[in-house]
Amino acid sequence: MFDFHGKVAVVTGGARGIGKCIREKFEKAGATVCVIDLLDNDYFVGDLADKATLEKFAEKVIADYGHVDYLINNAAPKMCGITDGSYEDFEYAIRVGVTAPFYLSKLFMPYFAEGASIINISSSRDRMSQPQTESYTAAKGGIAALTHALAVSLSGRARVNSISPGWIDTAYTVYKGPDATQQPAGRVGNPMDIANMVLFLCSDKAGFITGENICIDGGMTKQMIYHGDCGWKLGK
């Protein structure tokens, strides 16, 4: 469906989960993929919260390939809450989830090829929350806002969009019963749901789309639920 031969894609957090799926989809479509992750991988192992690491990674990508076509800011920030999370925990989450995408965009900016695209992976938690998720929620809200700012600043140089996944089961578990039926789409999501959108947004077919956030959550954030609706009852 997509042909990315000759293209260079950078994927943060590309060693597992959604990032791994994105990497594999790009590779299948012919792209060269440069991964940075704390986990072992075949390109670059490093901590996205560290400025010097980001600079070394960017230097390696440019030395190896000379340009970047697609930057996928996917790495997940740490989740901690207001009760048990420390200052350092929260700061680390923001550095991984917001500062690193900003800085990598800045580092690669002079090397973006014609038709370049940045995709930021946010979350449906950028607009809704569970208790004790402050660091993750703040980071995901931050990267969603960063998206439209970058789209304006990089006008003519790169398109910038974000994706907000809902419940994505990275083990591809097929759920039955309420876990599935509560979703208007009738199932829980999997990494392919996100990877397919990433490749579309990077393609020429999405050439008139920039500054947008696309929520892929099976319709959950559109579903209004009150006590007593659809058999749901408040548990306290």
Count Cβ atoms below 10 Å from residue 169 Cβ, excluding itself.
15
Q: Which residue has the tokens 């072992």?
A: 40
Task: Identify the CATH homologous superfamily for domain 8-231.
Answer: NAD(P)-binding Rossmann-like Domain (3.40.50.720)
- pLDDT tens across the length of the chain (236 residues): 799 999 999 999 999 999 999 999 999 999 999 999 999 999 999 999 999 999 999 999 999 999 999 999 999 999 999 999 999 999 999 999 999 999 999 999 999 999 999 999 999 999 999 999 999 999 999 999 999 999 999 999 999 999 999 999 999 999 998 889 889 999 999 999 999 999 999 999 999 999 999 999 999 999 887 877 766 677 76
Q: Which residues are catalytic?
A: 136
Domain boundaries, the chain: 8-231
Query: Over 55-106, what HEC string results?
Result: HHHHHHHHHHHCCEEEEEECCCCCCCCCCCCCHHHHHHHHHHHHHHHHHHHH
pTM for this entry = 0.95
Strands 68-73 and 112-121, sheet pairing: parallel
Q: H/E element holding 8?
A: strand 8-12
